Amino acid sequence: MVEHGDVRVVHRGGSKINFREPVISNDSSFLLCASGDCVKVFSTATEECVHDLRGHSGLVTGVRLRPSNHLQVYSCSLDGTVRLWDFTDGILIKTYVIGYPIYSIYTSANHEGVIFIVTAKSDQGSELFQLVAVQLRQCAEQVVEAREFSAVLPDVTSKPAAIDFGRGGEYIASVKAQQLEVFFFKKQKSYRFFLREDNKKGGKNTFTCVVCHPKDDCIATGHEDGKIRLWRNFNQKKEYTYSTMHWHHGAVGSLCFTPEGTNLLSGGVESVLVQWRYNQESEKDFLPRLGAAITHIVVSPDGALFCTSHSDNKITIIQSCVKVSAVIQGLVNGDGVRTDLMVDPHSKAMVLNGKPGHLQFYSLQRDKLLYNLDIVQQEYIHEEGLQQFEVVKAAFTSSGDWLATVEERQQKSADLELNLKLWAFDEQTQSFVLNTTISAPHEARITAMCFCHAAGSQTTMLVSTSKDGHFKAWQLAEAAHTQDEGSSSSWSCDFVGSYHGLVPESCCFSADGSLLAVSFQEVVTVWSPSSWELLTTLSQPPGAIRHLCFGRLSCSKYLLGATDNSLLCCWNLLTCSLEWSTAMATSLLLVDPLSENIAAFCYQAGSTDLFVFKPNEPRPLFSQKAVCSGKVNRAVFAPREEMLESCEESSQWLNRSQLYFLTPYMDLMTFSTKAEEDKLMASSKQLVIDDSIAMTPFSLLLGKHRQQQENQDPLSVLSAERSPLPQGSAAIKELLQTPAHVLPSTSFLCSLFVQSLLISVTDSREEDKHVEEEMESDKENSDEEMESGTSRPEAGSVVDQYVHAADRPLTKAQIREVRRVKKLDQGWMSNILDT
């Protein structure tokens, strides 16, 4: 098997942002969170991702501010490195090579030049973890080997919430199972406190998290049974004491003290943020309806912002415990995705289970959740162990005009509640509107569902197969007798088919819609949808067919089927005979809608291999062993926005569309080529320079201005500001690309242009003054427009960012802004930026 060096499995988009607790910068303007292999920097005001800190080659497992410099941040990763970043500029400052996978990182203001990391105990595999202190040497190099470890706590858990530093870093508290351990650095002594495994009332005493009071010697611990204990007097073996507070009915997910220690925040599965008054525990405030279980709580250093991470991959920013001011939503990964991964043809968004009872539309290009479509339309109750309606199947037509969903609720084993819903796309609202609800479409669970893909056909047809032994065809029928013609069409059952009482497992339409293949156990039946005539049966016993798909384009004469006894068969429909078959434990068979390529995920010996092939070619186009551990059950080909021009044979299959798949741990992975990565790196570099200043409309424009000085000495920003614009710089490009009718008079532009070509030897102040005068005249010309331009920067800032990335010409108003900014005295600003 050939190893393809240039195609790599990466986290790209949709990675968890709730994996580790986020970090709020000292001025509360940025929120940093670990997300896959990078650290994302969000603006707390606009919820937008400002930039990614890329560099780690493994999963990032922790982010901490550097105590001695609050503009720098440490991040640690499973790749065995700790990296120090300047997060405002997005620059990697240093890389410390530790050499072992790091599971979490801690810093303490009291320990200068030391970081604390949790690593696996090297000899006993990954079960046992230890907390070690790492001395960071001061040196000038970029990559530093840091191998001076000293063990602090020998037995900890890898959960970051299970360790916290106490008042001023004097001690460290760690919880594991039923044990709390407090280690005092000064005395080098540790105290251990145990709880009984189960108290009499059946509550579980297991610790879930720990947090230390910032001013007092008090440790708060959260427990499995929802209790919060406040420990005091823990500097002695016996006379320690604790008080218990109990509000949560589920496990306490996270705890956090406010910076002054006046309040304690807690959250859990109830999705309620509880604020306890320290020392007045009977009084508490609640912020309910946060949407999903709280996994992390963070408070900004000034105490103004609270930030909660939720289990549905969401970060909520809350202002002073009363108002949700921003929601950063990642790809919702619930406990399991039950629908297939799909691509919405309209929005090009990936569609899968989202919030409970919803379908989410997630834009992979922009790595952003577009919206959640409420399918179930029932209140979700936040409690474990309840059986509630879930969306289990969904399908789009190829045009994207119709969406079919199946929701089910199974209480006990007896009564299954099923609903088939059909949604029509509404052009006006650009979303889906419920058209038909069919309750109990089948008597048993629906196994597969697909739309007829035929582009030219008049009627839209949906076929669903069920465990009750039938497959049903549903058709959009015009109800003639109703007056209102517009909304009269609804879906009804057109045909019920079965085959010898066998259970249909999967179904598939051919690309032109003329054939329908339904697999009944080991038999594949081929039907004609127009006449509902059984055309032929194909079978390759033994082994029931699990996956079926027709080939596309030039290979549309082939029908592929994967059986559960690891056989992949390809039938030729013209000859009605088996073309070829191969032994392959296929867990998923996927057709690229834009090419003939078919991807097969094969589960073998604990990991999944990928093969991409054309049905008519004997050699696979691409194969990779062990793309991930565990079984891959969900994957999708997402069409690319613009075609990739890759000439390498092994990566050509990725040119038209990108293959995404979900690992068993609900991580969305994709395949990326080298060319693509290079491009991405380049664009991120660009972005970094754009956003070196805080995201205000003013700074955006200023940043644009600074972009021109990129190639110059960064140390002399002041002088750079005065230096002439180089030939072909962005500003001149903008001038040239702006439509002529919006430009100022040529005489004005000419002088400006000529001036830009001059080599500046004069005093900068003179030049400034010069521009100033010119701007004055300009201002007089279009005073009105200026005002309209300045009144919309707030709303425009988001747009601006994208405009930037796409390198499109500036609008007229923006050019005016640029000029106006130039006119202003920027001395003070550049001073700030320098420092």
Partner 1 sequence: MGEFTVHRVRFFDHTPAAVRALAFHGGSERLALARADGAVELFNFNDNYFQEKVIPGQDGRTVEALCWVGQRLFAAGLNGEITEYDLENLKPSYTVEAYGGPVWTISANSQGSLLAAGCEDGTVKMFEILEKKIQFQRNLDRQKGRIVSLSWHPTGSLIAAGLMDMIRIFDAETGRATHRLLVDRGVGTSKSQEVVVWSVLFLSDQTIISGDSAGKVQIWDGHTGTLVRTHLVSKWDVLALAVSKEEDSVIAGTSEGTIIQFQFLSSTVAQQEKEWIRTRTFKNHSHDVRALVHTETAVVSGGMDTQLVVRPLLDKVEKNTMESSLRKIAFPHRSLVCCAKKAGLLLFQFPEHLELWRLGEGEGHGRAGDSLPVKRKPEKLIHLKRKGDDQICCSALSPCGGWMSYSTVSSVRLYRIQYDDNNISITKVSKLPKSLCSVHRLCFSPDSSKLFAASSHSSVVVVALNQSECKHLSTLKPKSGSRQPVHLLVASEDGKWLAAANTACEVHVYNLHTMKLHCTVPVFRSCPTAIGINPVTSNLVSVHADQQIFEFSLGQKEYTEWSRKLQKQGLHSLWLQRDTPVTHVTFNPRNPAHILLHDTFMFCIIDQSLPLPEAKSPLYNQMMLRSLPEAERVQHSHAFKISKNFQHLLCVSLLEDLSLVVVERPLLDIMSQLPAPVRQKKFAT
Query: Footprint of partner 1 on this chain (CB under 8 A)?
Result: 167, 170, 215-218, 230, 232-233, 235, 238-244, 249, 279-283
Angle at alpha carbon of residue 815, lines to 812 and 820, rounded to 5°: 130
In whole angstroms, give the CA distance from residue 560 to residue 569.
6
Residue among 158 and 262 whose Cβ is closer to partner 1: 262
- Whole-number Å distance between alpha carbons of 287 and 280: 18
Q: How far is the CB of 243 from partner 1 (least distance, A)?
A: 4
Shortest CB 432 distance to partner 1, Å = 38
Nearer to partner 1, 168 or 630 (CB): 168
| Three-state secondary structure string covering 219-277 | EEEEECCCEEEEEECCCCCCCCEEEEEECCCCCEEEEEECCCCCEEEEEECCCCEEEEE
Residue 389 CB, shortest distance to partner 1, in Å, is 23
CA-CA distance, 55 to 52, in Å (whole number)?
9
Query: Considering the complex, what minimum distance in angstroms separates the CB of residue 202 from partner 1?
Result: 14
Query: Minimal distance in Å, beta carbon 218 to partner 1?
Result: 7
Residue 291 Cβ vs partner 1, minimum distance, rounded to whole Å: 22
**Nearer CB in complex with partner 1: 277/733:** 277
Minimum distance between the CB of residue 170 and partner 1, rounded to whole angstroms?
8
Residue 249 or 733 with smaller CB distance to partner 1: 249
d(CA 434, CA 407): 14
Q: How far apart are CA 294 and CA 297, in angstroms?
A: 7
Which tokens hold the place of 679?
């491009």
CA pair distance 435, 417, nearest whole angstrom: 20
* Closest CB to partner 1 among residues 222, 744: 222
| CA pair distance 302, 700, nearest whole angstrom | 26
Min separation Cβ 201 and partner 1, Å: 10
Nearer to partner 1, 282 or 439 (CB): 282
Give backbone dihedrals phi and psi of 804, rounded to 5 degrees, phi first.
-60, -50
Looking at beta carbons only, is 191 or 698 nearer to partner 1?
Answer: 191
- Nearer Cβ to partner 1 (65/218): 218
SS (H, E, C) 177-219: CCEEEEEECCCCEEEEEECCCECCCCCECCEEEEEECCCCCCE
We find the least distance from the C-beta atom of residue 277 to partner 1, in angstroms, to be: 11
509-531 burial, b if ≥16 CB within 10 A, otherwise e? bbbebebbbbbbbbbbbbbebee
Q: Could you say which DSSP state residue 727 is in?
A: T
Report the residue number, 284 or 557, with the smaller CB distance to partner 1: 284
Using alpha carbons only, what angle is made at residue 740 by residues 734 and 744, rounded to the nearest 5 degrees?
80
Please say which residue, 244 or 790, places its beta carbon nearer to partner 1: 244
Q: Which is nearer to partner 1, 55 or 214 (CB)?
A: 214
Distance between CA atoms of 569 and 581, rounded to whole angstroms? 4
Shortest gap between Cβ of 282 and partner 1 (angstroms)? Answer: 5
Name the DSSP letter for residue 688. H
Question: Which lies closer to partner 1 via its Cβ, residue 196 or residue 323?
Answer: 196
Please give the structure tokens belonging to residue 294.
């709280």
Q: Which is nearer to partner 1, 218 or 518 (CB)?
A: 218
Place of tokens 């008049």: 458
Report, in Å, the least distance between residue 182 CB and partner 1: 10
* DSSP state string for 512-550: TSS-EEEEETTEEEEEETTTTEEEEEEE--SS-EEEEEE
Q: How far is the CB of 379 from partner 1 (least distance, A)?
A: 18
Choose among 118, 238, 223: nearest CA to 179: 223
By beta-carbon proximity to partner 1, the closer residue of 46 and 388 is 388
CB 308 within 8 A of CB 294: yes
Contact 585, 604 (CB under 8 A): yes
Greatest distance between any 2 Cα atoms in the chain: 94
Least distance in Å: CB of 188 to partner 1? Answer: 15
List the strands of the sheet with 598-604, edge to edge: 586-591, 598-604, 607-613, 622-629
Shortest distance (Å) from residue 165 CB to partner 1: 15
Residue 409's identity, in one-letter code, is: R
CA separation for the pair 522, 758 (Å, rounded): 81
Q: From residue 534, give the alpha-carbon distance in Å to each of 91, 258, 518, 806, 810.
A: 65, 70, 10, 53, 62
Q: Residue 117 has which token pair? A: 């990391």
Query: Least distance in Å: CB of 174 to partner 1?
Result: 18
Beta carbon nearer to partner 1, 284 or 770: 284
Structure tokens at 30: 């940025």
Rounded CA-CA distance 695/480 in Å is 57
Minimum distance, C-beta of residue 203 to partner 1, in the bound complex (Å): 12
Q: Which helix (H) or strand (E) holds 731?
A: helix 730-737
Q: Which residues contact 284 (CB under 8 A, 6 or more apart)?
A: 247, 274, 275, 276, 277
Distance CA 63, CA 20 (A): 8
Q: Which residue has the tokens 């968004």?
A: 349
3-state secondary structure of 697: helix
Nearer CB in complex with partner 1: 383/766: 383
Toward partner 1, which CB reaches closer, 233 or 377?
Answer: 233
Residues in contact with 581: Cβ distance below 8 Å, sequence separation at least 6, in sequence order: 540, 567, 568, 569, 570
- Minimum distance from residue 279 beta carbon to partner 1 (Å): 7
d(CA 661, CA 352): 12
Contact 543, 507 (CB under 8 A): no
The distance of closest approach from Cβ of residue 180 to partner 1 in the complex, given in angstroms and rounded to an integer, is 15
Q: Which is nearer to partner 1, 243 or 488 (CB)?
A: 243
Q: How many Cα neighbours within 13 Å face the side chain of 580? A: 9
